[in-house]
A and B are shown apart, each in its own frame.
Chain A
Amino acid sequence: MIGSLRGLAVTLATMMRRPVTAQYPDPKRRLPIDERFMGFPSLLWDYSNAEPYCTGCMVCVRECPTQCMTADMSDNARFVSGESTRKKIIEKFEINLGRCILCGICVDVCNFDAIEMSHEHELGKFDRNANRADLKTLLVMGKTWQSKTGWSPTKTKNIGDPDIRARRQADEKAAKAGAVPVEVVSLEALKRARAGATGAAPGDGS
């Protein structure tokens, strides 16, 4: 009998408490995402050189246990013009987020600080193939993550730019003002653009 009454008291006390439920799809009532949260992989932006860190070396593509990635490498046009020290640059990159198992192996094997697990985690889409993220999407995801976490490079060759924070903030400001978030210029793309402009067939470098 005493136990029964105590049970009633327990349920009454629970009822007086506030529910902790976060009503998930409602953007205003979600729980905050922790900084160390591991969502889908994203490509990072090198603010020192205004291009992706990714060189298209394919090591992540090879190590991926679910083969959810594809990548194309090309020569870096900005290396030719002397603006960058990066000889090769990523031309196309695609991650099928529906296949990704968020294991983080791509992050571990990357030699260039190029890929990190972002905070993106939502898979609900209206289209069968809508979960394929292309290079631009991945770079925007990476930039967002970099801004949110204040990430700075960890590989020796990338450390050393003292202005990286200021550059990032300037980039964020420009993005807010409506600038194109990411622009990757590869040599192939440059050639194609030149060929298209002059109407000539793509040359072999001559």
Chain B
Amino acid sequence: MTALEVLYYVLGALGLFTFLSVTVMVLTYVERKFLARIQQRMGPMRVGPYGTLQPIADTIKLIMKEDILPSWADRPVYWLAPLVIFLPALAIWVTLPVGEGLVLRNLDLGLLYIVAVSVLSVLGLVMAGWGSANKYAMLGGLRAAGQLISYEIPFIMAVLGVAMLSQSLDLTRIVNDQASIANIIIQPAGLFIFLMAGLAELGRTPFDIHHAESEVVGGPFVEYSGAHWAIIQLAEYVNMFAIAALVVLLFLGGWRWPSMPFEGTGHDALSLVWFLAKTYGIVLVIFWIRGTYPRLRIDQLMAFGWKVLVPASFLNIVLTGIVLFYGWHWSVLTVMSSLTLAAIGYIIYRRPGTDVRQDTVRVVSARDAGLKPASQAAKPLSGEPIA
């Protein structure tokens, strides 16, 4: 590796970090505004015009705040955890293309790398939970680990379905493969599974079980403050943007679909805009879901993961394999995948197996108990039988 290459990667990493930091600041503002509007509020309005400078004020505040160390904390683990959470989030972006040729290092096994690295964040959550020496943090960390096993399989399987269609794990090739027809049309069920598993991986509503303010008061991050908390928060939003970007790359055709008019430099610039517009659209959908649904319980997440998402994701792969093996037209897969999606919807709607009543107190109406209203009650016995 020559000195020039080293310089290229250092500058590239710095540029990526700057891009992501600015993106996160924008995301925090957009989230607060969007959620506020969903609740008919205004959100930040004071700092700058329409509160646009609020993220900057927040950043300054977080950096200046005192960084507190709990006296019982496991020091190395406690200080290391934010890094372990943040580095995988940043490392994913090394191979995520954000436009035509706009990628720090395109990998042939990009998807495998992303799937492998993104899971590492959970280790950081468990470390943060353990290091804090706090029962809520500990519970939150373990919840994060418990959550992992229920979403990781469908997450990987949904990615695999796309990889099968494109016969590649290279993200740029997957995007180029969707130039004529995006994967959302071929595999709508795959998109749904990937988005749901992605939400669970991010720990966002309705799967924010390890944060759960009302139960574990913020989960693994209870004891963190100041810059360390800021780094964890940064990682959360970077991860969210990465999942949204992955949805766009894998299912919405990245910057290639629908195709754009320009050629050359104009095309490259427009591809970035096109990609970012789509990604922000997915991010807004994630915010929208957050503004709509309440949090699931951990057992509900497990049930949803194991009973719905895992079978559906395997079915998705099998159907894709059959269609690819017999060389049928892609529209056959569209129909099959839509049916799978409909089946998932039906299962969510009916929730089989959950209608077993487990009441501790049963309210029995008078009519069911065989009692009659007072007006129709039999006359009290006065010694004579009623004729």
Contact = CB atoms under 8 A, between A and B. Distances in A.
Contacts of B38: 11, 14-15
Given A11-B288, A11-B291, A15-B37, A4 B348 contact: yes
Contact of B42 (A3, A10, A23): A23
Contacts, number: 39
Contacts of B41: 19, 21
Given A2-B349, A4-B348, A19 B42 contact: yes
Contacts of B291: 11, 15
B17 interface: no
B288 A8 contact: yes
Interface residues of B, number: 18
Determine chain A's interface SS by DSSP, over half rule: helix
Nearest to B345: A1
Interface in B33-49: 34, 36-42, 45
B331 interface: no
Contacts of A21: 40-42
A19 B154 CA distance: 39
Interface in B8-63: 34, 36-42, 45
B292 A11 contact: yes
Contacts of A10: 292
B346 interface: yes
B293 interface: yes
Interface in B338-387: 345-346, 348-349
Contacts of A1: 345-346, 348-349
A177 interface: no
Interface of A: 1-4, 7-8, 10-12, 14-15, 17, 19-21, 23
Interface of B: 34, 36-42, 45, 288-289, 291-293, 345-346, 348-349
Given A8-B288, A14-B40, A19-B41, 5 more contacts: A1-B346, A1-B349, A11-B288, A15-B34, A21-B40
